[in-house]
Amino acid sequence: MNLTRRQLMQGASALALLPTAVRSAASSDVLEARIGEIQLVDGDFPMTKVWGFNGGVPGPEIRVAQGARVQRRLVNSLPQATAVHWHGLRIDNKMDGVPGLTQEVVPIGQDFDYDFTPPDAGTFWYHAHNQSTEQVARGLFGVLIVEEDQPPEVDLDLTVVVDDWRLTPETQINDGFDQAHDWTHAGRLGNFIKGWAAPDVAGVMKNQRLRLRLINVATARVMPLRLTGLSGRIVAVDGMPLLQPVPAQDLVLAPAQRMDLIVDVTGDVGSSVLVEMGHAKEWYALKDFKITGSASNSKRGPIQALPSNPIKRLRDVSGAQSVALKMEGGAMGGLRQGIYQGRLMDTAKLVDNGQIWTFNGVAGMTDAPLAEIAKGETLRIPIENDTAFPHAMHLHGNHFQEVMPDGSFGPLRDTLLVERGETREIAFVAENPGDWLFHCHMLSHQAAGMRTWVKVSA
């Protein structure tokens, strides 16, 4: 039954009369993890059964002003225990959503109140953090945007979430989440890529200026991206403004990474703006927007840097504590080195448990942290990738910078792609006390051993 317009009007005026305290307990504050159904594949295909926040994929967008408090009651209506991680937010450790490290897992039928105030403006996301190889692949993620006090002047603020699904011919999620081949190789790569835009505009106009927020929520796929019909600059990565915006070219988003761009629509009326994923000559459209007309060709100012966030950037790392992280394991060479020659003795049992990747010779969480530092101190972590695959290393609760070979510092990030054979050093000033997970965001690698943690003492 549909509500009549009259009923809606009545509802609206009744709502306006309620005291604010009652209104703020409305269902919009509930994030219910549950089974849902979406039209994932356009056209005549069957609906796809998913797990989503409030039943949708992506889950409801959370958008708040910088400095505003976020309160969400997670209600677990899944057939599995769960928890929510707020990816990239430098919030209170108790709210970080890592079962076994920062909170108890939320059992089936139970709930948990998340309550935090994000300090930084930018493009973030949230996702399930229990059995995430399965839960994120089934759709448990959403966008979280913290708006600047003085946002850049644009005609349209557009978010495009990019994802990778492994579907059966019946367009259902392939439920082989623990296939040894995926775990030992590049992770669970899909056979169907998908982009979602919000707002899902029908078209754009030539000469419009857009803010484009790109988020890769795939569990394993590194996405080289190409933009057609747009030109402009990257203004932020992983939610943190670049000091100097750089031209929008050679875009690569590893799992969990984000990128904010400010771009002008430069394509011709009648053509399309495209966001594509691929490489060389093979490109697949994740999203396209028709250019339906022309906006006035008013002179635009140059693209400015976004206002910076209240975070300490690196200044001097000489003399800082340094703890190396060596990645080993996986298929194709690394396995023998990492496991047969590493400190782990019971190889057969290890592989049986699906623990096939190691950090410093150990698969999975250790009782002692990888490193412990006091608040205000700087920690350096040179990361050596001695495996045959790239890994997207994510540190919870803190942003880091790369220490470049010439001694300069890269942009603030929360997730760094380390290619096979590379050694890349990161460092950060520890500002946020707590126990912070540090893991590969190729989620089957995480499940198969690539996780550790860093302790920041108050």
Q: Where along the sequence are the contacts to ligand C2O (CB under 6 A)?
A: 85, 87, 127, 129, 256, 394, 396, 437, 439, 441
Using CB under 5 A, pick the residue from 440, 448, 454, 456 that binds Cu ion.
440
Residue 230 or 447 with smaller CB distance to ligand C2O: 447
Question: Is 353 in a helix, a strand, or coil?
Answer: coil
Nearest of 275, 287, 274, 290 to residue 205 by alpha carbon: 290
Closer to ligand C2O by CB, 402 or 414: give it.
414
129 vs 445 by CB, closer to Cu ion: 445
Q: How far is the CB of 214 from Cu ion (least distance, A)?
A: 21
| Minimum distance of ligand C2O from residue 257's CB (angstroms) | 10
Cα–Cα nearest to 373, from 336, 337, 421, 321: 321
Q: Provide the residue type at 413 as one letter.
A: R
- Tokens standing for residue 214: 């790109």
The listed partner (Cu ion, ligand C2O, none) that binds 413, CB under 5 to 8 Å by sort, is none
The 378-407 site mask, x for binding Cu ion (CB under 5 A), equals -------------x----------------
CB of 436 to ligand C2O, least distance (A): 10
- Comparing CA positions, the residue from 431, 427, 439 lying closest to residue 456 is 431
356 binds Cu ion (CB under 5 A): no
Sheet of 30-38, strand order? 48-53, 30-38, 70-76, 111-116
Q: Which amino acid is at 232?
A: G
Output 194 or 394, the one with its CB closest to ligand C2O: 394
CA 398 to chain centre: 14
Per CB under 5 A, does 445 bind Cu ion? Answer: yes
Q: Is 389:444 a contact under the CB 8 Å cutoff?
A: no
User: Which residue, 97 or 229, is less far from ligand C2O as judged by CB?
Assistant: 97
In whole angstroms, the minimum distance from the beta carbon of 131 to ligand C2O comes to 13
Q: What's the rounded Cα separation, in Å, for the pair 143 and 140? A: 11
Contact criterion met (CB below 8 Å) for 330 and 184: yes
Taking the complex as a whole, how short is the minimal distance between the CB of residue 125 and ligand C2O, in angstroms?
A: 7
d(CA 245, CA 251): 14
Q: Please identify, using beta-carbon distances, which residue of 37 and 61 lies nearer to ligand C2O.
A: 61
DSSP state of 339: I
List the single partner that 445 binds among Cu ion, ligand C2O, none, CB under 5 to 8 Å by kind.
Answer: Cu ion
State the binding string over 122-151 for Cu ion (x if CB under 5 A, else -).
------------------------------
Q: Map residue 241 onto helix, strand or coil.
A: strand
Residue 127 contact partner, candidates Cu ion, ligand C2O, none, CB within 5 to 8 A by sort of partner: ligand C2O
Task: Tell me the DSSP string of 254-274.
Answer: -TT-EEEEEEEE-SPTTSEEE
Strand 282-294 vs strand 209-216: parallel, antiparallel, or unpaired?
unpaired
| Between 289 and 389, CB nearer to Cu ion | 389
Give burial (CB, 10 Å; 0-12/13-18/19+) of 157.
Answer: middle
The minimum distance between CB 396 and ligand C2O, in angstroms, equals 6
**DSSP 3-state percent helix, strand, coil across the chain (nearest 5):** 10, 45, 45
Shortest CB 256 distance to ligand C2O, Å: 5
Q: Which of 344, 442, 454, 456 binds Cu ion (CB under 5 A)?
A: 442
Please identify, using beta-carbon distances, which residue of 207 and 219 lies nearer to ligand C2O.
219
Q: Which stretch binds Cu ion (CB under 5 A): 105-113, 238-246, 280-288, 432-440?
A: 432-440
Adjacent-strand bridge partners of 415 = 394
Complex with Cu ion: residue 75 or 335, whichever CB lies closer: 335
Q: Which residues bind Cu ion (CB under 5 A)?
A: 391, 440, 442, 445
